[in-house]
Structure formats: C-alpha cells, structure tokens
Amino acid sequence: MTKNIYFSLLLSAVATVSFAEETRQVDKHEHGVGELNIAIDKNIIDFEFMLPGADIVGFEYEAKSEEDLALVSNALEKFEDYKNVFIIPAVGQCNIASQEVLINQEDEHDEHNEHDEHNEHDEHDEHDEHDEETHNEFYAKYSFECDSINLINKVEFPYFVTFPNSGELEVQFISELGSTSFEVEADKPVINIEGKI
C-alpha cells in the first residue's frame, strides 16, 4: 500500500515537473537557476541536478578551446565529490551507492536540419545563425543508502561557493509523506526537511 502511495506521488510529481518543463521552455536556460530533484524511497535518497553551463563554467557553447575544455574538466572533477555540491547530516548514516556526472550538449535548433535536404530553399540559410545556440547542461545524480534516513533534517548547499556563477536552485522534493518544492539561494544555502521523510 505504502509503495502504491509512493509511486502515485512520484507519478504526480513527474507529471507536474513535465508540465513545468513545458511552461518553462521559453526561459529554459535561465542563467543562475539550476534544478534539483530529491526523491526518498525507504532508506534510499537520490539527488538529481540539472544545471545550466553558464552557472557552472560561465558559458553555454560547446567547449573547444583548451581553456574552455579545462574549465569543463575542472567542473566535472568538482562534481565527482558530492560534498562540493551538497551536504547531508552525518546523523543519517548515508553511504553513496552510485553516482553519475556528465555534460549534455543540446542544440535547440536541431529541427532545422530537416531543411538540409531542400537545397533549393535558400531562405533556410538564416538557420545557420542557430549553430551558435548550442547549450550545455551539467547533469549529476547521486544515490545514497542511509541507515537512519529519518534523522536527516536538512540539506546544505556548498554548491553556491563551489560554482559562484550560480544563484538559485529550484528543488522538487518527494518522499512517502508527500511532495514539496523549495527555492534555495546563495544567501541562504540550506533547506529544512525535518518531518518530511
């Protein structure tokens, strides 16, 4: 029964997030704003970050120069140690079970590639300007197994110090007790989740 409630809440949250994504398409790459999903199921807690490249390395185009590649490499290295991004209280007795860190390159104008087959349509040359509009997004997911997950009462975010271009995290939080959302900013980099697990 509890499992069914959890999955109902999860589906509801996913639908809400999907709807939010559709309504946010216009400002999807809003600089200074990253997204975080926190999901709790029994003794497992997952953190999933989706962060604009401008917040992490100061640019959103595909890194090609040695300097830009070094910035990306350095950022990915920082993500490898989750404590550079967030801290959960030791009282939860959590051990990392898995993690995934990568950078996504995303061209919002891929749909214009269909015009390549129509060479006679010179008006489509205007789409060449979109080649510069490739966006990169950093993605990081961390999963923990916790012996005393109910004792976790907050999450702190050194993320804002590690990546000073960042300004805000929009957090979706879901557990068997329900779902809620938070906005975390650099001047108060913590969320209170006491009683929400």
**pLDDT of 136:** 85
pTM of the model: 0.74
DSSP secondary structure, 57-85, as one string: TS--SPP-SHHHHHHHHHHHHHHHSGGGT
**pLDDT of 133:** 56
Tell me the HSE value of 44 on the side-chain side, using a 13 A CA sphere: 9
pLDDT along the chain (197 residues), means of 10: 44 42 40 91 98 94 93 97 98 98 69 44 44 75 98 98 95 96 96 95
**Vertex 86 angle, CA 77 and 51, to 5°:** 65
**pLDDT of 115:** 43
**pLDDT of 18:** 39
Reduce the DSSP state of residue 46 to 3 states and report it.
strand
Question: β-strand 33-41 against 168-175: which pairing, if any?
Answer: parallel
**pLDDT of 104:** 85
Of the candidates 163, 152, 156, 189, the residue with the CA atom closest to the CA atom of residue 87: 156
Cβ atoms of 142 and 96 within 8 Å: the answer is yes
**pLDDT of 30:** 58
